[in-house]
């Protein structure tokens, strides 16, 4: 579905076969990302009430879906969901409810169509491309339901540190930058010493 750019192999030779090009990307990404088999199995103990589905969240999220979103491996498009939203909501809620409360995922929700995005630099190098995974649209609705529930729990129990700007409504990287700049300005105004540590993770190997 996507034209793979002209790339070079480990010896610097141009690869012309599309299958070999795809295999080169697949081999590189398999070395820097964990496979499911390498992730330790974690099983939590459910001691609370069953997870309940808020239909209003599903309706709101489907209404906010853009027009040009790509479909995942299950071939279910956002347009189909938007056209039949009221008829589909009860079934989506039931499917999400069964999935969450039983700790299982349909097979199609575990698959992804991988697209390539050039990060910059030499276009013939595999390392200069970032994979973008196109997953199931329906699965994304479940992710939004879970995220909304978690935010409610965090807010209710006041679990998040006040300096946490990510994954919080009303906060963003802009508000974080403004806060940091204000802290630096206050420190300079008070004649205090300023120490800063920045960390950038390019890839994680386990």
**How far is 76 from 81, CA to CA, in rounded Å?**
8
**Rg for the chain (alpha carbons), in Å?**
22
Contact 105, 139 (CB under 8 A): yes
**How far is 164 from 170, CA to CA, in rounded Å?**
11
**Beta strand pairing call for 14-15 and 7-8:** antiparallel
Three-state DSSP at 131 gives strand
Three-state DSSP at 35 gives coil
User: DSSP label at 20?
Assistant: H
Confidence at residue 64, expressed as pLDDT on a 0 to 100 scale: 76
* pLDDT tens for each residue of 143-180: 888 888 888 788 788 888 888 887 777 888 888 889 98
User: Is the pLDDT confidence value at 47 over 70?
Assistant: no
CA quadruple 120, 124, 125, 131: dihedral sign: positive
Instruction: Name the helix (H) or strand (E) containing 101.
Output: helix 85-102
**How far is 57 from 37, CA to CA, in rounded Å?**
33
**Which is higher by pLDDT, 1 or 108?**
108
| pTM of the predicted structure, to 2 decimals | 0.60
CA-to-CA separations, 103 to 29, 48, 107, 126, in angstroms, rounded? 28, 15, 13, 36
Provide, rounded to the nearest whole percent, the portion of the chain with pLDDT above 70: 84
Contact 81, 120 (CB under 8 A): no
Delimit the domains of the chain by residue range: 7-35+51-159, 161-193
DSSP letter string over 134-197?
E--HHHHHHHHHHHHHHHHHHHHHT-S-TT--TT-TT--HHHHHHHHHHHHHHHHHHT------
Confidence at residue 50, expressed as pLDDT on a 0 to 100 scale: 61
Contact 15, 24 (CB under 8 A): yes
Overall average pLDDT of the 6-23 stretch: 84
């Amino acid at each position: 579905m996507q034209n793979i750019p002209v790339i070079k192999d480990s010896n610097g030779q141009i690869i012309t076969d599309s299958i070999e090009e795809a295999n080169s990307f697949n081999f590189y990404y398999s070395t820097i990302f964990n496979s499911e088999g390498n992730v330790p199995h974690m099983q939590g103990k459910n001691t609370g009430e069953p997870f309940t589905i808020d239909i209003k969240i599903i309706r709101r999220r489907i209404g906010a879906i853009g027009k040009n979103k790509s479909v995942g491996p299950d071939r279910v498009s956002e347009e189909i969901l938007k056209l039949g939203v009221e008829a589909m909501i009860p079934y989506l809620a039931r499917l999400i409810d069964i999935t969450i409360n039983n700790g299982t995922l349909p097979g199609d929700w575990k698959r992804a169509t991988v697209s390539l995005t050039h990060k910059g630099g030499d276009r013939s190098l595999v390392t200069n491309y970032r994979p973008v995974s196109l997953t199931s649209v329906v699965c994304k609705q479940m992710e939004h339901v879970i995220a909304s529930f978690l935010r409610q729990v965090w807010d209710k129990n006041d679990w998040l540190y006040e300096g946490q700007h990510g994954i919080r409504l009303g906060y963003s990287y802009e508000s974080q930058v403004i806060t940091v700049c204000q802290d630096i300005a206050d420190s300079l105004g008070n004649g205090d010493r300023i120490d800063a540590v920045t960390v950038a993770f390019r890839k994680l190997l386990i």
